[in-house]
Amino acid sequence: MTQLGLFVDPQEGPDGLRYTDNFIEDAAEQALIGRIAALPLQRFQFGAFEGNRRVASFGYRYDYALQRLAKAEPIPDWVLPLAHQVETWAGLVGGSVQQVLCTEYDAGVGIGWHRDKPHFKEILGLSLGSSCKFRFRRRSGDKWERDTLEALPRSLYMMDGEARSQWEHSIPPVEARRYSITFRTMKQA
């Protein structure tokens, strides 16, 4: 299994995955954790099932009952400067981020294998509070090709290209409370 990191050979790991450590300062991380913890977080709903992580969606949310995107509360003003900073790092046009998901993972909580909904294009995530193993897999014949990224607190990742379209990702149960802010751009119709 390949460990992806700051000094990794760009040819290793899923094509289209970018990562950087220390995207924000410690004080900014603590302020963001406070903001997320103060949100009216709800357990993640997907169809008849309920996830253990708690979330708040802004801009858009995916409605599993209707199987489509639905409007959500506007992206909060306190997120907008960070979204702009994320867009700049990713080389995106300002205002590209149209959906934001704030998530709280308690110790022992993870997320299963999945790909983000096809309505979204680039997926960027800011890891806060504690590190996690960000796992990737894709089918290769009758086996799985796998990679793992150790996402450190205050780090930012971006999934685009093959990392976004061909690889699934998951997070095994975290050891300590973790927060994340996911920034998503929209696919053009």
- The DSSP-derived string for 77-131 is TTTHHHHHHHHHHHTPPTT-EEEEEEEEE-TT--EEEE---TTEEEEEEEEESS-
* Range 17-40 average pLDDT: 97
Over residues 34-66, the pLDDT tens digits come to: 999 999 999 887 655 667 899 999 999 877 777
Closest C-alpha to 14, from 154, 158, 153: 158
Q: What is the pLDDT of residue 123?
A: 96
Could you give the CA distance from residue 87 to residue 84 in angstroms, rounded to a whole number?
A: 5
Across the chain, mean pLDDT equals 90
Number of domains in the chain: 1
Write 5-8 long-range contacts (CB < 8 A, 24+). Answer: 5/149, 5/150
Over residues 70-87, the pLDDT tens digits come to: 899 999 999 999 999 999
pLDDT over threshold 70, residue 127: yes
**CATH number for the domain that contains residue 48:** 2.60.120.590
Residue 166 belongs to what domain range? 2-6+14-186
DSSP letter, residue 152: -
32 CB neighbour count, 10 Å cutoff: 22
Whether 87 contacts 97, CB under 8 Å: yes
